Structure formats: C-alpha cells, structure tokens
Amino acid sequence: MTKLVGNVIFGQSGGPTSVINASAAGIFIEALEQDCINKVYGAANGIKGILEEKFYDMGMEDPKELELLKTTPSSALGSVRYKLADPDVDDTDYKRLLEVFKKYDIRYFFYNGGNDSMDTCNKVSKYMQKVGYECRVIGVPKTIDNDLAETDHCPGYGSAARYVATSTMEVYLDARVYDTPMVCILEVMGRNAGWLTAATALSAYKGAGPDLIYLPELVFDMDKFIKDVKEVYEKNNGKVIVAVSEGIKDKNGKYISEYGSDLAKEKDAFGHSQLGGTAQVLASVIKNELKCKTRAIEFSLLQRCAAHCGSKTDVEETFKAGRMAVKYAVEGYTDYMVAYEREPGKEYKCNFKLVELEKVANAEKKIPREWITEDGTGLKQDFIDYALPLIQGESAPPMEEGLPRFAKLKKVLATK
Amino acid sequence: MTKLVGNVIFGQSGGPTSVINASAAGIFIEALEQDCINKVYGAANGIKGILEEKFYDMGMEDPKELELLKTTPSSALGSVRYKLADPDVDDTDYKRLLEVFKKYDIRYFFYNGGNDSMDTCNKVSKYMQKVGYECRVIGVPKTIDNDLAETDHCPGYGSAARYVATSTMEVYLDARVYDTPMVCILEVMGRNAGWLTAATALSAYKGAGPDLIYLPELVFDMDKFIKDVKEVYEKNNGKVIVAVSEGIKDKNGKYISEYGSDLAKEKDAFGHSQLGGTAQVLASVIKNELKCKTRAIEFSLLQRCAAHCGSKTDVEETFKAGRMAVKYAVEGYTDYMVAYEREPGKEYKCNFKLVELEKVANAEKKIPREWITEDGTGLKQDFIDYALPLIQGESAPPMEEGLPRFAKLKKVLATK
C-alpha cells in the first residue's frame, strides 16, 4: 500500500483516566516521527474542537512536555461527551467534519475513548468512505470501566485498579483500629460493568480487602445485603468492609443510589439532588438495621486521576497503543480499533491487534458470571489471575518540590 | 542519673495516621536495643489494653516486620478513644494502671496520640509521681490535624498533606476536562484547625489547586461563599475548585455539615443521619444558586491512611521521634512530650526537644490569622514556606505483586 501523505488530527473523548494522555503521547510522538505526516493536530474537547476548528499544533510543543504526558492524568486537550447523529437522519456534523478535514488536509483521524467514542469513530469512518474522502481512522480504547468488547482489557483500567486496590488495603487497616463495630462501605465507579469494583478483590487476595463485593452484573437485593452484612458482623466482631459498584440496581432496574435522591427530592431546601450516593444509601440502611457506626467512602474522581499510583504495565501499554494506532494507519489500515490480546500461558504477555470499530461501538463487556462466587459477593481466582498482571509495576509522575510535575502544554492554536 | 531497669509499655490512641506505626517502630526498635529495658509490650487499643491486661510481647516479633511498620498505615496495635477521669474524682482506672504497671514491672510508659492522648499521658504521669511509683512517661505526638501546641509540626501531617496536595492537583486536572461549567468542592479533615485543608494551597502554588479555601479558623458566611464562587465562576468560564475543612462553622457556631443532617433527620426512612457532609451541603447550595454541575469529593479516611503517598521527611522524622522518646526516657526524662523544633534559616532542618505534657494536653494550635489572605479564601507564602519542606521526599511501602506489603505482626499476648 502506498503511503498516504497528509495531516493528523487526534481527539480525546468521554471520562478521562490517569493514563489517557499516555495514548496521546504515543500518538503525537509517533506521528511526529512519520515521514508521510506533516502536521499533527490535537483537537480541543474531542470532536467538538474539530467541528469548531479549534485545535492545537502539537509540533509546536516541547518534546519533553509531550513525554510528560505519559504520567499526566486527565485529558490534556479537554474532553467531550457528544454523540454524532445518524448521518442518514442528519448529516450536518459530517459535512462540517469533511469541510475541516479537507481544509486542513486531514488524512489520519485518531479518536481516544470508550464505546461511545468508538461509535463516533465508526460513523466518521463510514461517512468519509461513503463520500470518497481518503482518510484513515483508528480508534484508541480508553476506560477505567474496562468494558470494551474485543480487547483483553482497556488502557486505564490497570492504573485505576491499582489505585483502588491499594487504597482499599489502606482503608481496611484504618477502618478496624477501634475495638468497636464499624461497617465501612466503599463505592467504586462502574455503571454497568463491575471490573473496577472487582479490583477490590485484589486487596482481599492480599488479606486486606472487603468481606463483601457487589457488582452491577448481578441484581442487588437489599434484604440479602442486610443478611450478608449481619453474618459478617457476627463473625468478625462487628468489623465489616463492603465494596459496591455505583451502578448496582434492584430487580426493578432501579439504581440503589436513587433510593437516596428520592428522599432528598422531597426535602430540597438546598437542592439536595446529589445527596446520597450508593454507598451512603447502604451505610444508612445498615446504620438503621444494626445501630452501629458506619462510614461511606466514595473513590469519586480520585480513582480515575490518581497518576501518582499508576500501573507501569498499564502506562507502557497505553503509550504503545497510541504509537501502534499511528503505525497501523500509516501501514494502510482504517476503520479499526487498536486492541490488546493476551498470550495464553502462565507468564503475562500482551500483544496488539486490530478489531473492527463496528464490533466495539456501543458494545459492553461484563464480568463473566462464572468469575463471580456462587453467592454473588466475591470474585474467584479466575478474576485475580486476569487482573493481577495488569497492575504490576509502579508508575508515578516525576516529582518537583515533593509534588507531581505534570505536562504543561503551550496549546498553540492551529491556523489556516 | 542512674539507669532505670524495667519494662516498657507503649500504646496508640486516637485517630490513626499513615505514619503512626513509624513511631511505634522507632519505640520498639530502640527499646529492644536498650540494656536497661527487658520486655517491650505493645498495648492492644491503647490505655484500654493496659487496663484489661491485653498487650503483646513485641520482642517476639520478626525484626523485619517491625521495620515494615514504618510504612504500614493505621494503628497496628489498635487504637482507642478513652478519656481518663480526674483522679481526684474517680481514681479507679489509675489504681488499676498502677496494679498492672507493678505486676509487669512497667518502668517506661510511652503514649502516641493527639492532645487528648497527651492529657492521658499527663494524668498517668502525675498519678504515678503522686503515689511514688517510679515510671518514666513520655508522650509521642501524632495527628494529621497538625494542631498540637509547642511543636513546629506533628508526625503524620506531612504525609497527609502530601497526599491531599497531590490528589488535589490530580482532581484539578480531571475536573476541568469538559468545556462546560463545573464547581468541584473538596472536603478535607480538620474539625478546629485547618492545617490539612491549607495543604491544598500547595497544589495552588503548583498551579493546579483550589480557587477558594475555607478554614475553620474563620467564621463561614454562606452568602459570602456564594458570592466568592460566583466571582470565580464568571472569571474562569464556570470552572471552580473549592477546598473546605469539614469543621467550618457559621457565626452561631453551627457546623455547615449540620445543615445537611438537619434536613435528613426530618426525612429518615433509611436513618439518613450520615447524609450530607460539608462538601455535599455546599455543592447543593451552589447547584441551587448557579444551576450548574457540581461535585463534592470527600477525602474521608483515604487522607489519613495513604501510606502509598507518604512524605519521606515525615516518615523519617516520625520514626526518629519514637526512638528519641525512648532515649530521653532512658536518660531520665519524664513527664514530657517529644517535639519538633525547626532551625531558623532558609534550609529546612528539624531537631528534637522536650516540652511539658501539661502545656500540650488539651491545647490546640491553629493557623495564624496573618498566614491567611485578607479575604479569608487563601493562604499566604508564609504557609507555603512552612508546609513545603514537610512534604519532601517520597515514601511508599515495598511492593509485592504490585500491591503494598504491610507489616504482619504475630501479636503474641504477654502473660504473667
């Protein structure tokens, strides 16, 4: 295949992770090295930045700062949640994209995100093919939720899992210092897939983890939950640690977190709609039932931006995933997402492959039922074997005066 | 002074820190090396373990595990919140302590905690002196609140401050990824003193910190708060980061966190008394006022147990503080707390000194008003100069399979 000469545009989309910029670094550094690529643009706020013609000339950045992106959390270019319309219904955005692509001679489009973003990627790719504009489109996965189909795991998951497992071990020790009862409930991100909550099982594997884990893969039953907690409470002298996914739902499909806001809505002098996350609701229930001290801890944004506690395996793979996206595109591939493939065998080894965007867009991968214990409150060794290799090695940003030195981009706006 | 021969007992008290066990390690390791000391006991749950004759023979522990205590968060022996009565009113506990001290030939008593614990220390010391039982009593400070009098800073503060400042920088980046408004409110521990909340000013000093900081040292005015936030909101395109102490109060002395539970109490189907911490109340207020997205993040227990993000300066000083307590006692000192004294001059250097327990017991050190900006929403360079040296150097536990390897004590119960 002949090399396609032109410019690159790259965008970040969806909720950030602590390593999303590592993919960006991989893409920028690789693209700047490729002969067939002239300009490398970074879109401000993903697809929105392209539509608004707001993007940065990454060639103007100090290479040292691009290198620092590897350990800089959050989306350095800004992110977006924007769903492109079906082009058959409304092709306004697509026409505009084509216009911008032509104006800036964009021949390579890389998009970094979760399944929604792969859908965006897929739509853009199909549209460009339809109108006969040659442009290679490659998606780069990213999500702490680890729920993308067709890939062994997702960039961002290992680091978030390492942070959650580490912090859970620490909280485990802290939550049992007094010789009085205490039920501690940890809330982990994950609306539909429980991969990150399951990472607390790694702490349990190390002897300092939750007694009970509740995942969104299974229906949450409040009565069973109370019974489960009571059992551990009796057995462990009132010391109970529970980990829950924010996304657990009851048998009617109602989020447990909604139990709290329902109440809050009725009493809204301060507009309390954000009161009561899942952990808080459950802590209240337990406090009411067992009349004991409870504590709800939400990992909140901390779990997805903790670059100071990253997984080296994750950071390195994520950086390479960015590089590979560019390499594949230059080789002539288009309409794919870069994915991870784990080699069989005891020793962990991960290779890259390409999967069709079509297959990833809007699909969701959940934890297999057989990896969850029969009673639904723990993970089996299969999960430990799967997740443990992904959190190996320590990654942290370089320090300056005791605090992380994150990348500082100049963000020189591209002009035409 | 002649050397006093006998045994040691040590107890941990109050809320744990990520380095409280570093002091324990210092005390155990030093005491086990001293010729005049035979047995070294660690009390289970502080003073309670002594009263109940439940303590461990630390000489039975693997020295490698004692070393690991340096980077193991939380109170390895268990902690307690127990206030001794005034001995003139009720001397039951004191008689019992004397009985136990005599039975086990305890001639050295070390107690690790905050100002309440120094009060305990002081009372025990005075009682033993009164009844003529020779026993050397030294308090070892500990608190992430950094509010003990007569010491430049407190063991545990530097590590908690480093964690809070690091995480705040990370959240700062994460909370501004979208080009839509977002007010993010971070809640930091500290009921009466704002030292730890002030640590977020270190993030601001690094260019990635809160726009507004509210400390319990000043009266909190809700109207001014709303005005402050609105101002930043206008100036920063709707991006606002606020840090608040959990302990901020209005002019009537009412905690802002109580604004939430007041409402919750009236609507209590799930016993919602824990709903609505300070940050949540303020996020609700802002959501109501500005109709924008808000997020409340509570550092909760995470901030006091994050050994994975410790300050090397803090860990080393804390370990030495434990060693010094034993050395001072062996030299003949009693009725003191080990304290830090910073040398004047640009370069940070910290020495040890002794201060009378009397002066520390129940006293509280707050941030000087002149270190806080006039408008009460930030810290001046004086605070940065004070705090920055305390967070220098990285400390983390050794890793095993990607996760921290914390100390595992055998906890062999002492018998007589």
**pLDDT tens string B379-412:** 999 999 999 999 999 999 999 999 999 999 999 9
Q: What domains does chain B contain, in order, with CATH numbers?
A: 6-143+308-363+392-404 (3.40.50.450), 157-305 (3.40.50.460)
Taking the Cβ of residue B309 and every Cβ of chain A, the question of whether any pair is shorter than 8 Å is answered with yes
- Nearest CB among A162, A295, A404 relative to B301 is that of A295
b/e B229-245 (16+ beta carbons within 10 angstroms → b): beebbeeeebbbbbbbb
- Nearest CB among A73, A273, A287 relative to B174 is that of A73
The mean pLDDT of A335-356, rounded to a whole number, is 97
Active site residues of A: 145
pLDDT at B263: 52
The mean pLDDT of A136-141, rounded to a whole number, is 98
In degrees to the nearest 10, what's the CA dihedral of B67, B73, B79, B83? 110
> B396: which chain A residues are within 8 Å (Cβ-Cβ)?
394
**pTM of the model as a whole:** 0.96
Taking the Cβ of residue B263 and every Cβ of chain A, the question of whether any pair is shorter than 8 Å is answered with yes
The answer to whether the CB atoms of A177 and B75 lie below 8 A apart is yes
Restricting to A residues 324-353, those with a Cβ less than 8 Å away from any Cβ of B are none
Does residue A11 sit in helix, strand or coil? strand
% of residues, chain A, pLDDT over 70: 96
Does residue A360 sit in helix, strand or coil? helix
Taking the Cβ of residue B401 and every Cβ of chain A, the question of whether any pair is shorter than 8 Å is answered with yes
pLDDT at B261: 59
> A404: which chain B residues are within 8 Å (Cβ-Cβ)?
166, 169-170
Q: In residues, how long is chain B? A: 416
For the complex shown, is ipTM > 0.90?
A: yes
**Angle, in degrees to the nearest 10, between helices B278-290 and B222-235:** 60
pLDDT at A263: 52
pLDDT at B1: 59
Q: Identify the residue whose tokens are 């994209």.
A: A97
The answer to whether the CB atoms of A18 and B294 lie below 8 A apart is no
> A399: which chain B residues are within 8 Å (Cβ-Cβ)?
394
| Each residue's pLDDT tens digit, A242-259 | 999 999 999 999 999 988
| Each residue's pLDDT tens digit, A193-228 | 999 999 999 999 999 999 999 999 999 999 999 999
Does residue B39 sit in helix, strand or coil? strand
pLDDT at A265: 47
Dig out the tokens for A334 from the structure: 């288009």
* B149/B357 Cα distance (integer angstroms): 10
| Each residue's pLDDT tens digit, A37-83 | 999 999 999 999 999 999 999 999 999 999 999 999 999 999 999 98
The mean pLDDT of B211-219, rounded to a whole number, is 98
The answer to whether the CB atoms of B162 and A399 lie below 8 A apart is no
Residue of B nearest to A390 (CA): B402
B228 flagged as catalytic: no
- Strands laid side by side in the B106-113 sheet: B55-57, B37-43, B6-12, B106-113, B136-141, B336-342, B350-356
The answer to whether the CB atoms of A165 and B403 lie below 8 A apart is yes
| Each residue's pLDDT tens digit, A260-280 | 755 554 443 334 344 458 999
In this structure, is the dihedral angle defined by the CA atoms of residues A273, A277, A283 and A285, taken in order, positive or negative?
positive
In this structure, is the dihedral angle defined by the CA atoms of residues B95, B96, B102 and B103, taken in order, positive or negative?
positive
* A340/B289 Cα distance (integer angstroms): 46
pLDDT band at B260 (very low <50, low <70, confident <90, very high): confident
The answer to whether the CB atoms of B300 and A297 lie below 8 A apart is yes
Residue of A nearest to B202 (CA): A403
> A260: which chain B residues are within 8 Å (Cβ-Cβ)?
270, 272, 275
The mean pLDDT of B73-101, rounded to a whole number, is 95
Interface test with B, best of A68, A71, A173 (most B CBs within 10 A): A173
> A156: which chain B residues are within 8 Å (Cβ-Cβ)?
none
Taking the Cβ of residue A283 and every Cβ of chain B, the question of whether any pair is shorter than 8 Å is answered with yes
